[in-house]
Structure formats: C-alpha cells, structure tokens
C-alpha cells in the first residue's frame, strides 16, 4: 500500500519489536495505522501488562487521528459477551475466551475500538489462522 501512496506517508515509528506505527495524511484526515504482535497466551502476565500499557501510550499519542489497530493478537473470543455488542460481533468460532481475548476486549472497550473480523460472516476455514 505504501509504495502507491508514498506521498501520503508522513512518518513511521518502530515503538519496539512488537509495535510499529505509520501515519498517513489524506485529504480528509490523518490516519495512524498501528501494527502489533501481542505476546502469546503462554507469556507472563507482567509481559502482557507491559505490552498493553505501551500500546495504550501509543494510542493516546494519536488522539486526533483516525486509528486502525491491526495485527496478531494471539486471542480467542467467544460470542457470549453481553454488553459488548459495540466491541465484538456475532461471527466467530472460539468455544471460550482466552486471557488474551479478555485483554483485547477490555482494551477495545476502553478505547472505542471493535474487533472487525467478528462483524462479518466468513466461511469457517477463513476465521482462523494456523
């Protein structure tokens, strides 16, 4: 994408080995894309907390931009989240929500994000990565 729109790229920043941002300027708004690789389910709670604290700092620094948060969240979320219909849609496969899934849902709820791939129906084969 950036090869075609190089003039729109106003900057990028590698925050750490798990978070990188790119800021784009369009005619309508500034957009910040945040690409992440969340620690795995087996990682310690300290590592996960540190990751989400740093991610929150990145999101807070882009307060006036349109934000896109993309990446591998190493999370599974089921569809039984009463009161979070603005965060997660009804289309998913997970039988239970993992710790990383709970962290993702909490982060999205606090920041006004939604888990986009759960809002649209897809073939089951396309709902998981291996």
DSSP letters, 5-67, are TGGGEEEEEE-SSSEEEEEEE-SS-EEEEEEEEPPPTTS-HHHHHHHHHHHHHHHHHTTTSEE
Q: Is the pLDDT of residue 2 over 60?
A: no
Average pLDDT over residues 99-119: 88
Q: Name the residue with tokens 């784009």.
A: 24
Q: Considering only CA atoms, which of 73, 72, 61, 71 is closest in space to residue 23?
A: 61
The answer to whether 56 touches 89, Cβ cutoff 8 Å, is: no
Is residue 85 pLDDT above 90, yes or no? no
Burial 56-77 (b: 16+ CB within 10 A, else e): eebbeebeebebebeeebbbbb
Q: Are strands 66-72 and 30-37 parallel, antiparallel or unpaired?
A: parallel
What the block records as the tokens of 42 is 């087996």
Q: What is the pLDDT of residues 28-64, one digit of tens each?
A: 889 999 999 999 999 999 999 999 999 999 999 987 8
**Which of the four pLDDT bands, split at 50, 70 and 90, describes residue 110?**
very high
Q: Is the pLDDT of residue 4 over 60?
A: no
Q: Residue 127 has what pLDDT? A: 61
Q: Where are the domains of the chain?
A: 6-126
CATH number of 6-126: 3.60.10.10
């Amino acid at each position: 994408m950036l090869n075609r729109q190089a003039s729109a790229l106003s900057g990028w920043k590698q925050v750490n080995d798990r978070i990188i941002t790119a800021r784009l300027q369009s005619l309508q708004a500034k957009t910040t894309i945040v690409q992440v690789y969340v620690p795995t389910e087996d990682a310690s709670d300290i590592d996960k907390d540190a990751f989400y604290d740093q991610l929150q700092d990145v999101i807070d620094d882009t307060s006036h931009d349109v934000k896109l948060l993309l990446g591998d969240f190493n999370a599974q979320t089921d569809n039984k989240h009463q009161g979070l219909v603005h965060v997660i849609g009804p289309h998913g496969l997970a039988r239970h929500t993992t710790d990383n899934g709970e962290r993702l849902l909490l982060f999205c709820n606090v920041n006004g994000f939604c888990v986009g791939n759960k809002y649209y129906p897809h073939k089951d084969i396309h709902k998981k990565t291996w």
